[in-house]
Structure 1
Amino acid sequence: MTQPRGFIHQCEQEELHLSGAIQPHGVLLIADAQGVVSHCSANAETLLSDVEPPVGLGQPLPDCLHDVTAALPELGPGERYIGQCDTPKQEFDVVVTSHHGNGWIYELYPVDAHAAPMAASSHVAAVPESGEELATQCQTLMENLLALSGFDRVLYYRFMPEGDGEVLAEASREGVTGSYQGLRFPASDIPYIARQLYLKNPWRTIPDATAAPVPIYAAQADATPDLSFVDLRSASPVHLEYMANMGVGGAISLPIIQGGELDALISCHAAAPKQLTVSQLDSMRALSEGFNLRLRDFKARRRQQVIDGLQRHFDHAKTVLMRHGELESAWEELSDWLMETFAADGVMLQMGEEYYQHGVGLTPHVMSMVAQQAAAEATHVWLSDSLQRDCPGMPLSEVAGVALISDLPLDQHHTVNLYLCRVEHIYDVTWGGNPDKPVDYRDGGSVVSPRRSFEAWVEQRLGHSRPWTASTRLYLLKLRALLQQAKSMPWRHDGE
């Protein structure tokens, strides 16, 4: 799959948080610390026509927001306060966030008096004990969110290390055809700039993908507000086109955040426009956050199990090193252990100008290129399942993937590099549509647009090895520490 550079650049350059507009299902007001309105959406005069004093730039906030403002706690960046206010004609849900610590952003959502509150789930699941139990809990979450939200389809979309995404779980209501489960989507479908905004919001809603955006007026010219923490923020035209191509009229996304990174998205799709109240969205957030916490604890437990077993796992290698005391006699036994432990097809150790190899290996030139790439990325543990992709200028080689421990000091004159090699593994990747974006020639220009089909599209992936597991880096760090401990051993080195 070749991703057009122009499309990725186009996506990443779009300043989504500075759109200068909101979606029309709510009203946006921004006030300074004195309660004077500095920004308001163009629909404020219509939706808040019955408030006193009238909404206007440079004017005090309407009286209906006084109780909300008085109840505000001290909010840090991204923290929200959810309240309610009433006008003579309408009840509103109000979401308040800090505006750079010097005022407040108010999002007001008209409440349908007939909207039923979302039933809360009384079931509390335990932290899963296995990957299978985790998958079951994930599927159960999809089914619960589907039933509670009334949407047509709910997907669990996990991000992969390279940025691509894969649908791991899916639930859909009866009569909905097709499935995205098991399909992969390219990183540009949810570009990095959009993923960063998901980190700042408990949910992202687009109730009506066909609705025209509403501009935001500012008291000062060119004072475009930062909408990073605002769910009303207008949607990117590219994303709206993407939704249309998928047949989605309304959507909700709930982030799954692990270690400060966006690990997954829960995406709810409806064919027709559909809006939920803030309290309903908060109930969905509570369900997803419960799973998020269990996932965090599951990963922490798995990581601790790996750490607890590392010492026992590496005892054999340590025993080999101590028993032999010099590399030539230890290498045969040690290299067998390395290939078995890391499921490698070959292993190479470069010590100064000497090379030791077992199984398939790299030429000295290619080894140097890999080491230079690791140095350029400022890491002593470097992994790649595609040297052709990750190491510019890499010549064709039987070895497709490498895990490297580099620059391990041997003495004041020499360092050790250890290369674990894997050969090419040809396999199929099933994408949700052809991941190469079509070129759109509208308006006399040439713009890469979202693809129009999401039918399963199979790519035969060449130039890749079997992927390294999530725990490989941890094992390599432990191995590096072990080799560092052993550097004081009397290795025989002819250059000394």
Structure 2
Amino acid sequence: MTQSRGFIHHCEQEALHLSGAIQPHGVLLITDVDGTVSHVSANAETLLRDVEPQVALGKPLPAFLDGIVKTLPNLGPGERHAGQCETPRQEFDVVVTQHHGRGLIYELYPVDAHAAPMVAVSPPTAVPESADELASQCQALMDSLLAVSGFDRVLYYRFMPEGDGEVIAEARREGVTGSYRGLRFPASDIPYIARQLYLKNPWRTIPDATAAPVPIYATQADATPDLSYVDLRSASPVHLEYMANMGIEGAVSLPIIQGGELDALISCHAAMPKQLTLSQLESIRTLSEGFNLRLRDFKARRRQQVIDGLQRYFDHAKSVLMRHGELESAWDELSEWLMDTFSVDGVILQMGEEYYQQGVGLTPHVMAMVATQAAKESSNVWVSECLQRDCPGMPLSEVAGVALISDLPFDSHHTVNLYLCRVEHIYNVTWGGNPDKPVDYREGGSMVSPRRSFEAWVEQRLGHSRPWTKSTRLHLLKLRALLQQAKTIPWRQNEA
């Protein structure tokens, strides 16, 4: 795939948190440290028309919010306080967050008195014991969310190490045609800047993608508020066009966060506008968070199992070396262990000017290029599944992917490098539409726009090895630590 770097650059430069506008299904108020209104959305006059006195810049918060203000705890960055308040004609859900130490942000959502409560109680489920059981629980979550949310389609979108995403589970309402399951989407579909915002919020809602955004007025002309923690934040025009191309007008997304990183998104889609109340959002979040915790425990258990296995395997390798007395006679057995443990096609141990190899390998010149690239990235553990892409100037080689452990102490003058090699693995990737973005020349510009088709588009991927798993780096770091601790390993016989 030849992804447009210009498109990715544009997406990453879009200051989503500084949009200066909100979606029209709620009202935004921001107060300064003195409790004075410093920002107000333009629709406050309409949605709060029966409030006395009227909300105005430079004035205190209206009295109908007194109940919320009196119960507010001290909020830290990103902390939320939810409550309810009423005017003579309307009930509101209210969410309060800190405005980066400069005051408070109030999001007010009119509540439909006829909105039915959502019962989304998930029965206790044990931590899955296997990948198949995990997949089964993931699909069950999609089915449950579809049933309780009223959306047309629910997807589980898992991020891959390079930033691309893949739909691994899906549930659809009866009559909804087409499936995204098994399709991959390029990293630019959800750029890094958007993923960072998902880390800061329990959900992202766009109830009506066709609705015009509402500007935010401020006491100072240049005082654009930071809306990083505000769900009312207006949506990117690029994302709204993306939704239109998918036939979506209402959406809710829930992040799955593992180890402080965005591991996946749960996306709920509706062909028509659809808004959930705060209590309904909390209900579906309860379901997703239950799965999130089980996923965390599953991954922790699997990591520990692998680390324990590496420890046992390494103890075995160490005993092999001790039994043989030096590396050369132990190499056949040791290299077979490395190839089997890391599922590679070749392994090279470089000790100063000496090389031990089993299976496919690299020339000394290419090894030096790989080590230099790793050093540029200040990494003692470096992984690539496409050397042609990740190592500039790389000559053609049957080895397409490498995992490197470098700079292990050997003696006072030399270090040891361990290269794990994988050959090229030609395979097909099924994308949701052509991942290369089309150029849009409307209005005389040359903006790269979202795809207009999401039909399966097959790319034959060349020049890549079999992909390394997300846990590969962890395993290599553990192996490196074990090698560093093994001071008694006789790498070579002592010379007289």
What band does the TM-score fall into relative to the shorter chain? over 0.9
Structure 2 residue matching 1:211: 3-state secondary structure: coil
Structure 1 residue 300 displacement after superposition: 1.1
Structure 1 residue 332 displacement after superposition: 2.2
Whether 1:35 and 2:18 are equivalent positions in the alignment is no
1:408-428 deviations in Å (ceiling 9; x for gaps)? 110110111111111001001
Contact 2:146–2:153 under 8 Å retained in 1? yes
Identify the residue that residue 395 of structure 1 maps to in structure 2: 395
Structure 1 residue 495 displacement after superposition: 11
Identify the residue that residue 166 of structure 2 maps to in structure 1: 166
Whether 1:55 and 2:55 are equivalent positions in the alignment is yes
Structure 1 residue matching 2:343: 3-state secondary structure: coil
Q: What TM-score does the superposition give when structure 1 sets the normalisation length? A: 0.97
Whether 1:319 and 2:319 are equivalent positions in the alignment is yes
Identify the residue that residue 290 of structure 2 maps to in structure 1: 290
Q: Which amino acid aligns with 1:361?
A: G
Identify the residue that residue 444 of structure 2 maps to in structure 1: 444
Identify the residue that residue 126 of structure 2 maps to in structure 1: 126
Shifted more, 354-363 versus 205-214: the winner is 354-363
Structure 2 residue matching 1:53: 3-state secondary structure: coil
Distance 2:412 2:299 in 1: 40
Shifted more, 474-483 versus 428-437: the winner is 474-483
Structure 1 residue 141 displacement after superposition: 0.9
Contact 1:72–1:81 under 8 Å retained in 2? yes
Shifted more, 302-311 versus 475-484: the winner is 475-484
Contact 2:321–2:490 under 8 Å retained in 1? no
Structure 1 residue 120 displacement after superposition: 3.1
1:49-82 deviations in Å (ceiling 9; x for gaps)? 1112211000111111011011111211111111
Show the 5 A alignment for 1:316-465: 316-465=316-465
Identify the residue that residue 190 of structure 1 maps to in structure 2: 190
Distance 2:489 2:16 in 1: 57
Contact 2:307–2:478 under 8 Å retained in 1? no
Distance 1:494 1:442 in 2: 74
Coordinate RMSD, CA, aligned: 1.5
Whether 1:309 and 2:282 are equivalent positions in the alignment is no
Residue ranges of structure 2 left out of the alignment (5+ in a row): none
Structure 1 residue 491 displacement after superposition: 3.7
Distance 1:302 1:122 in 2: 24
Whether 1:140 and 2:140 are equivalent positions in the alignment is yes
Structure 1 residue 193 displacement after superposition: 0.1
Identify the residue that residue 241 of structure 1 maps to in structure 2: 241
Contact 2:23–2:234 under 8 Å retained in 1? yes
Shifted more, 125-134 versus 474-483: the winner is 474-483
Structure 1 residue 473 displacement after superposition: 2.6
Distance 1:46 1:492 in 2: 82
Show the 5 A alignment for 1:85-124: 85-124=85-124
Structure 1 residue 376 displacement after superposition: 1.3
Structure 1 residue 487 displacement after superposition: 4.8
- Count of aligned pairs: 496
Contact 1:321–1:486 under 8 Å retained in 2? no
Identify the residue that residue 257 of structure 2 maps to in structure 1: 257
Identify the residue that residue 267 of structure 2 maps to in structure 1: 267
Contact 1:410–1:487 under 8 Å retained in 2? no
Change (3 A) 1:130 1:492: closer
Identify the residue that residue 218 of structure 2 maps to in structure 1: 218
Q: What TM-score does the superposition give when structure 2 sets the normalisation length? A: 0.97
1:316-363 deviations in Å (ceiling 9; x for gaps)? 211111122322222222222222222211111111111221111111
Shifted more, 79-88 versus 180-189: the winner is 79-88
Contact 1:205–1:253 under 8 Å retained in 2? yes
Distance 2:486 2:36 in 1: 68
Structure 1 residue 286 displacement after superposition: 1.1
Structure 1 residue 493 displacement after superposition: 8.1
Structure 2 residue matching 1:199: 3-state secondary structure: helix
Distance 1:488 1:302 in 2: 30
Structure 1 residue 231 displacement after superposition: 0.3
Structure 1 residue matching 2:200: 3-state secondary structure: coil
Structure 1 residue 467 displacement after superposition: 1.6
Structure 1 residue 490 displacement after superposition: 4.5
Structure 1 residue 104 displacement after superposition: 1.0
Contact 1:40–1:217 under 8 Å retained in 2? yes
Distance 2:333 2:432 in 1: 46
Q: Which amino acid aligns with 1:154?
A: V
Contact 1:53–1:61 under 8 Å retained in 2? no
Structure 1 residue matching 2:428: 3-state secondary structure: strand
Distance 1:495 1:432 in 2: 61
1:232-283 deviations in Å (ceiling 9; x for gaps)? 0000000000000000011000000000000000000000111111111111
Change (3 A) 1:139 1:122: closer
1:200-240 deviations in Å (ceiling 9; x for gaps)? 00010000001000000000120000000000000000000
Structure 1 residue 489 displacement after superposition: 4.3
Identify the residue that residue 202 of structure 1 maps to in structure 2: 202
List 4+ stretches of structure 1 deviating above 6 A.
493-496
State percent identity of aligned pairs.
83
Distance 1:490 1:17 in 2: 57
Structure 2 residue matching 1:107: 3-state secondary structure: strand
Shifted more, 119-128 versus 278-287: the winner is 119-128
Identify the residue that residue 11 of structure 2 maps to in structure 1: 11
Residue ranges of structure 1 left out of the alignment (5+ in a row): none
Change (3 A) 1:490 1:256: closer
Distance 2:208 2:475 in 1: 48
